[in-house]
Amino acid sequence: MWKRLFTTISILQLILTSFSATWHPLGNIPSNASRICFGASYLHHVICTDDGMILYNISTQESEYFTYGGLPVWGAGYLGPTQMLIVMGNGSYSDGIWSFDWQTHQFEVIEWLVYPNFLYHDDMAHQFWVGSAWGGLYYSTDGWNWQEHPNFQSFPCLGMSGYGSHLMVTVIMNSTNFQLSDDSGVTWHYPEDYPLISDMCYSPGGILGGIFPYNYDESGLWFSDDFGVHWQQKFQSDYMSAVGFDCFGTCLVGWEAGQGLALYYPEAPPPGLVFLNDGLPSLSINTIQVNPTMSAPAIFVCTDAGAVWSNDYFITGIPPVKQEEPEVRLFPNPAGEEITAESSSPLFQVAWFNVFGQKIREFPVNSCRTTLKEPLQIPGIYFLRIIFENGKAITRKVEFN
């Protein structure tokens, strides 16, 4: 009865609260896009597809398609000035962790691994993680040398997300659906109360959103405000596939087929869904992401007909939920050759990005005040990403004269 009631409400919301966002294609090559890997090189984002990858040039906005035997690519990351870390496989003898040189277009195997299905980089611990659907969780500090974590041997690992030192891995382990770590993966523990989670994402304020898939009373959107230990169902809906948060903490959700993409706003009429389907290339949503270097509200969506983005999806009369940010003072700004960052909260790490979203340099701080040099000794506009000791992060624009 309750499921039918929620389904009826969802249909009414789809009709009454749809909103037209402007969707822009990311790349001009149609594909079944599964994930966007931002800043995989100084020049590129990588769009992962079910038979290869699309390199999107941030500067020229041109796209190139590459594949190794038609293998699906599940993740990409920065490995060096001309090299990317690529995770790909579908059960073939070529499955594994690879390097890709975007200048020579050469693939080179780093580690053979059956059915790898995600690549996650922990910015706080400077560590890569790769999970295998066949079984196992692997980690590396440099992308070249890998070790298997003993807690996950032979257990299929399906996804990973993190916030500060808090990590969560979805895993098929007896009756347990995921494990949690509060020390960047050194030790792991089971949650006390958990739903079945397929996709998950942290908000800028540390709220963990999760999707319970399939067709049950428990299916739908769930939130945790203590890093995955306890959960609360926000609304019921069948066959959901994706959850994401924008830079203001506004939650967006997607379905695997038919219903598309919606903004979740609890103050709207129950169940609080405002659909953003007009102009989407497909209503089958794979992932919902943000570019971590951007402080302006923009969302990136992977569908089975390509990747798109929008920055005008706000709802008239329903403002986005703005999370409280740690206060930080940057002075002088504009700056000469250096700028000082000061906060009442301890700074943990800072990173410089250029205007194309490419990471230039990052380094630890471990204090409430630090003085930063001009990152490239070239005047212009840069973006400073600051991660605090409590795991929260902000991005600020800095101009050097």
CA atoms within 13 A on the CB side of 232: 5
Chain region(s) in the chain for CATH 2.130.10.10: 2-310
CATH code of the region 2-310 = 2.130.10.10
Which whole number is the average pLDDT over 184-195? 88
- Which one is predicted more confidently, 320 or 47? 47
Model confidence at 351: pLDDT above 60: yes
Provide the residue type at 39 as one letter: G
- What pLDDT band is residue 208 in, cutting at 50, 70 and 90? very high
Classify residue 388 by burial, with Cβ atoms within 10 Å: 0-12, 13-18, 19+: buried
Res. 4: pLDDT tops 60: no
pTM of the entire structure?
0.78
> Quick one: how far is CA 347 from the chain centroid?
22
For residue 8, pLDDT beyond 50: no
Strand, helix or coil at 6? Answer: helix
Nearest to 132 by CA among 163, 160, 104: 160
Give the number of residues written for the chain: 401
CATH of 328-400, one of 2.10.260.10, 2.60.40.1930, 1.10.150.120, 3.40.720.10: 2.60.40.1930
User: What pLDDT, in 10s, does the model give residues 129-144?
Assistant: 999 999 999 999 999 9
Place of tokens 């995770």: 87
Q: Where in the chain is the domain with CATH 2.60.40.1930?
A: 328-400
Largest CA distance in the chain: 66
Report whether pLDDT(160) > 90. yes
Burial of 203-212, coded b for 16+ CB within 10 Å and e otherwise, reads bbbbbbbbbb
Dihedral sign for Cα 163, 168, 169, 170, please: negative
Nearest to 98 by CA among 79, 82, 120, 81: 79
Does pLDDT of 12 surpass 70? no
Mean residue pLDDT of the chain comes to 86
Give me the mean pLDDT over the 230-234 stretch: 93
> Residue 14 has what pLDDT?
40
Which has more pLDDT, 229 or 12?
A: 229
- pLDDT value, residue 400: 87
How high is the pLDDT of residue 17? 47
